[in-house]
Amino acid sequence: MEGFVSWPAELAERYRHEGYWRGEVLGDIPRRTARGHGDRIALVDERRSWTYAELDDEADRMAAGLRQLGIQAGDRIVVQLPNVGEFVVLCLAAYRAGVIPVLALPGHRRSEIAYLCELSGAVGYVIPSRHGGFDFLGLAREVVAEVPRVRHVLVLGDSGEFTALASVTAEPEPLPALDPAGVAMLLLSGGTTGLPKLIPRTHDDYAYNVRASAELCAVDENTSYLVVLPVSHNFAWGCPGVLGVLRSGGKVVLAGNGSPAEVFPLVQREQVSMVALVPPLLALWSDARYRFDADLSSLRLLQVGGSKLAEPQAREALGTFGCTLQQVFGMAEGLLNFTHLDDPEDVVVTTQGRPLSPADEVLVADQDRSGRGELLTRGPYTLRGYYRAAEHNRFAFTPEGYYRTGDLVRLTAEGNLVVEGRIKDQINRGGEKIAAAEIEGHLAEHPSIQEAAVVGAADPVLGETICAFVRVSGPAPSLAEIRRFVQARGVAAYKAPDSVEVVDSWPLTSVGKIDKKALARSLAERGR
Ligand code: J2J
Is there a contact between 242 and 236 (Cβ–Cβ < 8 Å)? Answer: yes
Is 327 near ligand 1, meaning CB less than 6 Å away?
A: yes
pLDDT value for 146: 98
What are the boundaries of each domain within the chain?
26-38+47-177, 426-525
pLDDT, greater one: 527 or 35: 35
Q: Is the pLDDT of residue 516 over 80?
A: yes
Q: Is the pLDDT of residue 86 over 80?
A: yes
User: From edge to edge, which strands make up the β-sheet containing 100-103?
Assistant: 163-164, 152-156, 124-128, 76-79, 100-103, 183-188, 198-202
Give the number of other Cβ atoms within 10 Å of residue 415's Cβ: 11
pLDDT at 526 over 90: no
For 90-135, the pLDDT digits (tens) are: 999 999 999 999 999 999 999 999 999 999 999 999 999 999 999 9
CATH class of residue range 26-38+47-177: alpha beta
Residue 404 and residue 165: Cα distance in Å, rounded? 39
Q: Is the pLDDT of residue 195 over 90?
A: no
Q: Residue 528: pLDDT band by 50, 70, 90 thresholds? A: confident
Local confidence band at 22 (pLDDT 50, 70, 90 cut-offs): very high
pLDDT at residue 30 tops 80: yes
Q: Which CATH number fits domain 426-525: 3.10.129.10, 3.40.140.10, 3.30.300.30, 3.30.70.260?
A: 3.30.300.30
Residue with CA at minimum distance from ligand 1 atom 7: 330
Nearest protein CA to atom 13 of ligand 1, as residue = 308
In the reported structure, the alpha carbon of residue 173 is separated from the centroid of ligand 1 by a whole-number distance in angstroms of 39
Does residue 405 line the site of ligand 1, with CB under 6 A?
yes
Look at residue 190 in the predicted model and tell me its pLDDT: 86
Helix, strand, coil % over all residues of the chain, rounded to 5: 35, 25, 40
pLDDT at residue 204 tops 90: yes
Cα–ligand 1 centroid distance for 234 (angstroms): 9
Instruction: Work out the pLDDT band at 194, boundaries 50, 70, 90.
Output: confident
Average pLDDT, the chain: 97
Q: Is pLDDT of 193 > 80?
A: no
In this predicted structure, what is the pLDDT of residue 321? 95
First to last CA, the chain: 47
Contacts 24+ apart (CB under 8 A), 29-37: 29/92, 29/207, 29/210, 29/243, 29/246, 29/247, 30/55, 30/56, 30/59, 30/92, 30/246, 30/247, 31/56, 32/247, 32/249, 33/221, 33/246, 33/248, 33/249, 37/221, 37/249
Q: Is 336 in the pocket of ligand 1 (CB under 6 A)?
A: yes
Q: At 14, is the pLDDT very low, low, confident or very high (cuts 50, 70, 90)?
A: very high
What is the tens place of the pLDDT at every residue in 356-372? 999 999 999 999 999 99
Q: Residue 305: CB within 6 Å of ligand 1?
A: yes
What confidence score (pLDDT) does residue 527 get?
79
Asked whether residue 160 carries a pLDDT value surpassing 90, the answer given is yes
For a ligand 1 pocket test, name from 206, 331, 333 the mutation site with the most ligand atoms within 8 angstroms of its C-beta.
331
Entry pTM = 0.97
* Distance between Cα 200 and ligand 1 center (Å): 17
* Ligand 1 atom nearest to CA at 431: 25
Q: Is the pLDDT of residue 196 over 90?
A: no
pLDDT of residue 24: 97
For ligand 1, atom 21, the nearest C-alpha belongs to 331
Residue to substitute in 302, 329, 418 for testing ligand 1 pocket (most ligand atoms within 8 angstroms of CB): 329
- 425, 428, 433, 435 alpha-carbon torsion, rounded to 10°: -20
* Cα–Cα distance for residue pair 445/449, rounded to 1 Å: 7
Q: What is the pLDDT, as a whole number, of residue 120?
A: 98
pLDDT of amino acid 257: 86
Residue 163, C-beta contacts closer than 8 angstroms, at least 6 positions apart: 69, 152, 153, 154, 155
pLDDT of residue 179: 98
The torsion region of residue 98 among left (phi > 0), alpha (psi -120 to 50) and beta comes to: left
Secondary structure class of 348 (helix, strand, coil)? helix
